[in-house]
């Protein structure tokens, strides 16, 4: 319970402390070339660090301000008709106030709030508020002051409650709450992405009209979004950065049903830094290929159950690796909670490979590195890169796995046992996240060689056929109930879960393949990857939405869906000796009674 003293804190009292604190001190910190927003941030930061204190309670030892200004243009269409479009601009301030010291402060603590406050029922440290869009120094400065006021009071209360909890609990991990990092000043400005509203609308109309050629697709949609995130950051350690982060995202979703009513769904996703990274001709070809695939899937047979050799190829390998294995590579700290049930709930999805450092987690021919400094790989655009993360830590390459041995994890400034410094992997501000994750095979096989190995295993095991999995849905684009629920249940976020399959093939000893539908990979965990028998020489460059082991933070940090980011993965195909496939279960909806009206002529 919060102390009675803290429960009596009022806005007026703290405001009076700041009002009587004397002249503003920030002008000395302003640097040549600072714009209005950055100047307001620096000025209020200097005043807060010098004067912000309530009675004899703790002063802040660290404050940071991050202003994210987002401009976006988007458009959606279906069947050749525009669904909606718009242009948007927002500016938000994220304030972090830490009281105590680097060893023990108010963070890494879960507070249960009743009734709901500005950040909801569950609060972690940090939060964001809207700022005016005009460059009005006085109003921006006032909003920064008010947000700092609120964050400071919340920090004091959380610090008091956290210390009360620690008096009744044994702290199992004697590690500091915050790392000390080098102060840097960085400018990371990419050319902004641009598109006219009319061009975006025309593009989604044209691409969605392709579905008018597909009688076997029951519903479809296309969407494009062009975003520019302009970030300004300053903290009390002397770090500052500006970052312009452009992004272009296109998705096409198509849905239908097989003859027995089982739902079928597929997607096309394309991501880049500018409109030049997206080829409308290529997108049209991919949409048509998706339509052909769905038509064939409608007629394909089910698989009852199969256990044996499985080759995971291309997109499916990249999606499986990013969804199941990659979240284990994040150094996510388990927060202290005053509510045991709440602590257990949040602890489940944060189980990572922390206790596996120094052990083998992949075969000895596989290596994994994260490199945010790459813009492309094998002449294919990567979208996960940056020069500085949202905690002001300089980006760098991190070798995670060498010859199958786990060397370290990707970390933020919240240390975990054995990892006392950030790797510069908090680009979204919601916890450690990969950037561009690269998997390489030291003994990579050609496509023909790895398929031959699959068939050799089939023969040795006396199987009638093997299985090749070629497409797996991304749960944030084509969600299945089992995939989404697994992220919020014990074992989720990289734990055991059923992986829906869009397209898989039985492959027979003579080499011919037969398509199967509505199958699911069963019992796949990160430990499964340790038993990979072979990997391909060729790699798939795959960009897609990603939510790591700490995806809860985006929901409760006041940043909305900031936990979901578009990242890039470079992954070879994988051959497994034993995986299990089974048909999906659950309620089967009835197909439409009448035919699609457009094609019923």
DSSP string over 234-278? EETTS-EEEEEEEEEEEEEEEEEE-TTS-EEEEEEEEEESSGGG-
**Alpha carbon 545 to its chain's center:** 6
pLDDT of residue 34: 76
Structural domain ending residue among the three candidates 264, 299, 334: 299
Residue 80 lies in a domain: no
Neighbours of 72 (CB within 10 A): 17
Q: 223 with 246, same domain? A: yes
DSSP state of 103: S
CA distance 396 to 393: 9
Assigned domain for 330 exists: yes
- Do 378 and 325 lie in one domain? The reply is yes
* Tens-digit pLDDT profile for residues 294-329: 999 999 999 989 999 999 999 999 999 999 999 999
Residue reference for tokens 């429960």: 7
Task: Examine the domain organization and report whether 254 and 359 are in the same domain.
Answer: no
Considering the domain boundaries, does residue 450 fall inside one? yes
Helix (H, G, I), strand (E, B) or coil at 514: strand
Q: Which helix (H) or strand (E) holds 481?
A: helix 481-486
- Identify whether 115 is preceded by a cis peptide bond (ω within 30 of 0): yes
Residues 177 and 290 in one domain: no
One domain, residues 38 and 163: yes
Domain that holds residue 206: 189-299
Positions of the chain with pLDDT under 70: 1-33, 112-127, 170-172, 340-350, 480-497, 548-563
Looking at residue 144, what DSSP letter applies?
A: H
Say how far apart CA 23 and CA 498 lie, in whole Å. 61
- If asked whether residues 268 and 251 sit together in one domain, one would say yes
Are residues 234 and 347 both part of a single domain? no
Same domain, 107 and 162: yes
Per the rule left: phi > 0, alpha: psi between -120 and 50, beta: everything else, 183 is beta
411-448 pLDDT per residue, tens: 999 999 999 999 999 998 889 999 999 999 998 999 99
79 inside domain? no
pTM score, two decimals?
0.89
Domain match, 210 and 319 both:
no
Query: What's residue 586's pLDDT?
Result: 78
**147 within a domain of the structure (yes/no):** yes
Report the pLDDT value the prediction gives residue 478, as an integer from 0 to 100: 87
Rounded-to-integer distance, Cα 220 and Cα 83, Å = 12
Residue 109 lies in a domain: yes
- How large is the C-alpha radius of gyration of the chain? 26
User: 439 φ, ψ to 5°?
Assistant: -110, 125
Q: How many residues does the chain have?
A: 601
Cβ neighbours of residue 293 closer than 8 Å, sequence gap 6 or more? 266, 471, 502, 503
Looking at the 3D structure of the chain, how many domains does it have? Answer: 3
Answer yes or no: do 502 and 405 share one domain. Answer: yes
Q: Are 466 and 371 contained in the same domain?
A: yes
446 and 341 fall within a common domain = yes
Contacts of residue 453, defined as CB under 8 A and 6 or more positions apart, other chains included, come to 445, 533, 534, 575
Minimal CA–CA distance to 235: which of 419, 70, 98, 387?
98
Tokens read off for 36:
């209005």
CATH number at residue 207: 3.30.2290.10
Q: Would 84 be classed as within a structural domain?
A: no
CA distance 124 to 155: 10
Domain-embedded: residue 590: no
Position 550 scores a pLDDT of 52
């Amino acid at each position: 319970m919060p102390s009675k003293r803290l429960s009596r804190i009022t806005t007026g009292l703290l405001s009076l402390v700041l009002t009587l604190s004397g002249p503003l001190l920030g002008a000395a910190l302003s640097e040549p070339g600072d714009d209005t927003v950055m100047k307001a941030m620096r000025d209020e930061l200097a005043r807060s660090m010098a004067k912000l204190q309530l009675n004899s309670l703790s002063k802040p030892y660290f404050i940071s301000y991050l202003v994210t200004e987002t401009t976006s243009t988007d458009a959606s269409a279906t069947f050749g008709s525009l669904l909606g479009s718009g242009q948007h601009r927002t500016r938000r301030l994220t304030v972090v106030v830490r009281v105590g010291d680097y060893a023990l402060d108010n963070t890494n603590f879960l507070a249960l709030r009743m009734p709901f406050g500005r950040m909801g029922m569950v609060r972690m440290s940090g939060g964001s508020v809207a700022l005016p869009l005009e460059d009005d120094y006085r109003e921006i400065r006032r909003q920064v002051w008010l947000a700092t006021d609120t964050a400071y009071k919340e920090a004091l209360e959380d610090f008091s409650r956290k210390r009360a909890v620690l008096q009744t609990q044994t702290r199992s991990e004697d590690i500091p709450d915050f790392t000390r990092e080098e102060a840097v000043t960085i400018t990371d400005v990419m050319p902004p992405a641009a598109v006219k509203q009319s061009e975006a609308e025309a593009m989604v109309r044209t691409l969605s009209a392709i579905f008018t050629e597909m009688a076997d697709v029951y519903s479809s949609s296309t969407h494009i979004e062009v975003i520019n995130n302009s970030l300004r950051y300053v903290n009390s350690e002397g770090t500052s950065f500006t970052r312009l982060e452009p992004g272009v995202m296109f998705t096409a979703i198509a849905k239908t049903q097989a003859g027995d009513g089982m739902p079928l769904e597929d997607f096309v996703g394309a991501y880049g830094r500018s409109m030049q990274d997206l080829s409308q001709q290529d997108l049209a070809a991919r949409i048509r290929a998706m339509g052909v695939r769905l038509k064939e899937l409608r007629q394909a047979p089910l698989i009852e159950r199969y256990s044996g050799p499985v080759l995971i190829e291309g997109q499916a390998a990249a999606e499986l690796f990013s969804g199941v294995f990659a979240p284990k590579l994040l150094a996510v700290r388990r927060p202290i909670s005053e509510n045991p049930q709440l602590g257990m709930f949040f602890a489940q999805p944060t189980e990572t490979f922390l206790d596996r450092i120094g052990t083998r987690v992949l075969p000895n021919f596989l290596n994994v590195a994260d490199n945010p400094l790459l813009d492309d790989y094998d002449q294919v655009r990567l979208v996960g890169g940056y020069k500085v993360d949202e905690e002001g830590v300089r980006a760098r390459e991190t070798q995670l796995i060498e010859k199958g041995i786990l060397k370290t994890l990707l970390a933020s400034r919240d240390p975990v046992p054995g990892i006392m410094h950030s790797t510069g992997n908090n680009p979204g501000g919601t916890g450690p996240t990969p950037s561009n994750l690269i998997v390489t095979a030291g003994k990579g096989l050609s496509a023909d060689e790895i398929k031959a190995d699959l068939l050799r295993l089939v023969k040795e095991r006396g199987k009638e056929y093997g299985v090749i999995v070629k497409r797996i849905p991304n749960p944030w684009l084509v969600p299945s109930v089992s995939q989404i629920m697994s992220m919020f249940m014990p074992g989720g976020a990289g734990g055991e879960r059923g992986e829906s399959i869009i397209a898989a093939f039985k492959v027979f000893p003579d080499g011919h393949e037969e398509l199967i539908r509505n199958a699911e990979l069963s019992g796949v965990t990160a430990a499964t990857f340790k038993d990979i028998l072979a990997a391909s020489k060729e790699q798939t460059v795959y960009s897609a939405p990603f939510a790591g082991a700490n995806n809860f933070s985006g929901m409760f940090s006041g940043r909305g869906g900031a936990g979901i980011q578009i990242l890039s993965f470079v992954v070879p195909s994988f051959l497994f000796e034993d995986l299990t496939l089974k048909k999906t279960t659950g309620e089967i909806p009835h197909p439409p009674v009448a035919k699609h009206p457009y094609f019923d002529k």
